[in-house]
C-alpha cells in the first residue's frame, strides 16, 4: 500500500470518459484503456474535485457504509495502482 499525502493529477496523454457511471481512462501513449469500477470511479471523482485522500476516504466510508480506516486503505490502494499504471502522479 502506498501512502498518498499530496494532491493527485492526471498524467499527460490520459483522457477521461464517463460511461454508465464508471470512469474509463484512455492512455493515448500506450493505447490502453483502464476501466475503473464503481469504487475507484468514486475515488477518482472526489480527488478530481479537489478532495484529499483522507476526505475521500471519509466520503467513501459514508457512501459505502464501511469503516473509515478501511476506506482510507482502499483509497491508498487505488491511488497506488493508478500511479503504477502511470495514470496519475502525486504532486506536492
Q: Residue 51 belongs to a domain with what CATH number? A: 1.10.10
Whether 3 maps to a domain, the answer reads no
75 domain residue, yes or no: yes
Domain assignment of residue 80, given as a range: 8-87
52 within some domain: yes
Report the phi/psi class of residue 20: left, alpha or beta, with left for phi > 0 and alpha for psi in -120 to 50.
left
Total domains present in the chain: 1
pTM greater than 0.85 (yes/no): no
Question: Does residue 77 sit within a domain?
Answer: yes
Tell whether 1 is covered by a domain. Answer: no
pLDDT for res 1: 44
Per residue in 10-69, pLDDT tens? 788 889 998 888 899 999 888 999 999 989 999 988 888 888 888 999 999 999 999 999
Amino acid at each position: 500500500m502506498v501512502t498518498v499525502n499530496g494532491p493527485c493529477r492526471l498524467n499527460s496523454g490520459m483522457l477521461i470518459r464517463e460511461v454508465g457511471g464508471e470512469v474509463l481512462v484512455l492512455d493515448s501513449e500506450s493505447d490502453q484503456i483502464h476501466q475503473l469500477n464503481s469504487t475507484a470511479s468514486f475515488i477518482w471523482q472526489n480527488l478530481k474535485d479537489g478532495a484529499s485522500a483522507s476526505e475521500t476516504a471519509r466520503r467513501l466510508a459514508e457512501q459505502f457504509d464501511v469503516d473509515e480506516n478501511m476506506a482510507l486503505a482502499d483509497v491508498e490502494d487505488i491511488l497506488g495502482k493508478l500511479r503504477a499504471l502511470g495514470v496519475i502522479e502525486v504532486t506536492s
